[in-house]
Structure 1
């Protein structure tokens, strides 16, 4: 480990400063040693933790974000959750005086949530970024930029630089550590904040990397063991044994025979003719080798438990994909994404709407895109919804679900016990 002269001078100054504070300069020797700083051995995992900013688990491996995302199961889980939140639109809704609802397209916040969050991010990119930050850090923070009294942009704040604080008078503020140095206190009215569902203090969510550090560390150790097996371990299937002594010419002849006559896919079922009393002996895999795959599979299952994503959606389960795919999608939305939907909706209502607007407006995540089944299932559903006796949807509502333009006569609900011809004739008579 090479230390530059500037670093050496800073460390020496630090030691002198600590020594002066504890009274060792110009004072009698103390009875026992005083440790003012902690030293690390170069092979100490704690040093790696300090330098990389990672989390050290039971495997003694420092796990940071870069290493965590190299775990295919963890990356798949994070991309599924963050991608799903970025894909699903969030609409700003308004509750009218007659009890009906409508999309508040005339409100400036509608475009911020639905189309463009800021000058460099679309609404989907903003949601994916914030969702991933909430998963990894437990919290997600963004700065609200107002113009003419309304929120026009939401700009994500740098990760790891915002700390929520609650004063003795129960006033919430956010301490922001600026990139160019210095700290500033931001009022709650300027910050859009939401956290992970589980929290120990009510302000900060639990970081997924902290709770999954042991699992990710063991998975990384298993991958490293597999890499050592491939690069330095023996990959031979077996050995040829004999009690006789083979000369160099016999050995070379045997190697050439194995290479020319018994290599390739065509020789998979051939029988070898051995000479000089040779006997074939297969290598038996050790218990350690056979358990390596089980360990990697077990750690993948642990990642599934931490993230809440169903096993088959993480692409490592042997469950066949068929009629159960719809149930998997329902499970994913209900038990994994639904808590995040509620968190997003409540955070938008609480942080982005004024007290007056909170009485009549709210945010709604449209999860229908994830719950749609096959065309056959949708046809059966809308057939029942448009039924003559139990119909509760109009034609235009069904057409809107498929992004089709409404029809002039499609806003009326179907009338029970009538046919289309009878309804048309009745309309003609009413018009006359």
Structure 2
């Protein structure tokens, strides 16, 4: 039986789950609002905004909440949180529900509800508006996501058995590097002297590469490596690769390969975001819209700032923003560029540059027209 405790003891599986959960947890979710003129803005005045971005409940930070929910969605396929409402039904808190206590139900009229079975006993039905349900993107019934522990159970089990085999090899296997043989027999004195010299004069790293003095016709024979033992490493390597296929984490990010620190690492990070995290970003955003936007589903939506993970080097960013500001047809303002680096807005930075030149800053007091100085009298 492959359970979560056994699976999380595998270094490759733990690294993959931890990397995805950590990446999701550290990025903030912004609650956005669509305006009538087609623009968008952060809905900072909405009560759900601080719940998603800063404080989901009284005992967790936003990072801890999202990491816990993401881990549950990976292991079980589903993560549930109780939606706590305050005055006028406003959402004031999200409390993660214990795993295995919630079951989604779909009635004959296609109305969604949830059966809640607390640990202390009892059972009650919760309406869909009281439960935030975040699930895996792969589902067979449209209600429950597929558990990673279920689909990867065989790969995890083989990896665990390979670990156990390696442990037995180091615990019970013969690790001798060679043997001493003689055509005759050793005297008790020669045997005791040989054993003492092996233990005291030739053991440990300090005595590496020293030559031994053999007596009474002894010959040293090195033992060759057992092919079955060397295959343990190949088996463990192969199972690590198999687990990564289930999670979508690239090999170097699971620390299976050495990689050059530089542009290759940047491309690798972009690959990880695009082909592993991006699907989870969309799943989070649409789960928030489905469960918590209430009467404003057409105007409110959630958004991850995945651009922070997709940024290249400082040189690449400088080249991109220089083109965005300095092109003959610029498409970004100074304040939009500054916003990408969490910098405060600059005065006069709301206008698009004209003809590749930055917009002139507005005067300190636009109502007062500056008077040119008078020429001195001759």
Q: TM > 0.5 between the two?
A: yes
Counterpart in 2 of 1:335?
275
Contact 2:83–2:130, Cα closer than 8 Å, also in 1: yes
**What is the RMSD computed on CA atoms of the aligned residues?**
2.1
C-alpha contact (below 8 Å) 2:73/2:136 kept by paired residues: yes
In 1, distance between residues paired with 2:118 and 2:196? 69
Of 71, 91, 103, the residue aligned with 2:42 is 103
Distance 1:425 1:371, change over 3 A: closer
Q: 1:375 aligns with which of 300, 303, 314?
A: 314
Find the aligned partners of 2:3 and 2:65 in 1 and give their Cα distance.
Answer: 23
Of 338, 361, 365, the residue aligned with 1:399 is 338
CA contact (8 A) 1:388 1:415 kept: no
1:207 to 147, 171, 177: 147
Give how far 1:293 is off.
0.7
Residue in structure 2 matched with residue 32 of structure 1 by the alignment: none
Contact in 2 for aligned 1:143/1:155 (Cα 8 Å) = yes
| 3-state DSSP of counterpart to 2:326 | coil
2:55 is matched with: 116
2:131 alignment partner, one of 175, 191, 210: 191
- Matched residue, 2:375: none
In the alignment, the residues of structure 2 paired with residue 83 and residue 418 of structure 1 have an alpha-carbon distance, to the nearest angstrom, of: 41
Give the deviation of 1:240 after TM superposition: 0.9
State the distance in 1 between where 2:283 and 2:363 align.
49
- Structure 1 Cα separation of the partners of residues 190 and 36 of structure 2: 98
User: What's the TM-score once normalised by structure 1's chain length?
Assistant: 0.80
- How many angstroms does 1:417 deviate by? 4.8
Gaps of 5+ in 2: 371-378
Q: 1:410 to 1:181 in 2, by over 3 A?
A: same
Structure 1: distance between partners of 2:140 and 2:41: 38
Partner SS, residue 30 of structure 2? strand
Q: 1:76 to 1:271 in 2, by over 3 A?
A: same
> What is the rounded CA distance, in whole Å, between the counterparts of 1:194 and 1:425 in structure 2?
47
Give the CA deviation at 1:233: 1.4
User: 1:320 — aligned with what?
Assistant: 260
Kept after mapping to 1: 8 A contact 2:114/2:127 = yes
8 A contact 1:384–1:390 mirrored in 2? no
SS of 1:144 mapped into structure 2: strand
Q: What corresponds to 1:30 in structure 2?
A: none
Pair 1:146-2:85 in alignment? yes
Whether the 8 Å CA contact 1:396–1:411 is kept in 2: the answer is: yes
> Superposed, which structure 2 residues align to 1:248-267 within 5 Å?
248-265=188-205, 267=207
The 3 A distance-change label for structure 1 pair 98 and 320 is: same
* Misfit runs of 4+, over 4 Å: 417-420, 423-428
> Number of paired residues?
367
Gapped runs of 5+ residues in structure 1? Answer: 1-61
Q: Secondary structure at the match of 2:297?
A: helix
Change (3 A) 1:241 1:68: same
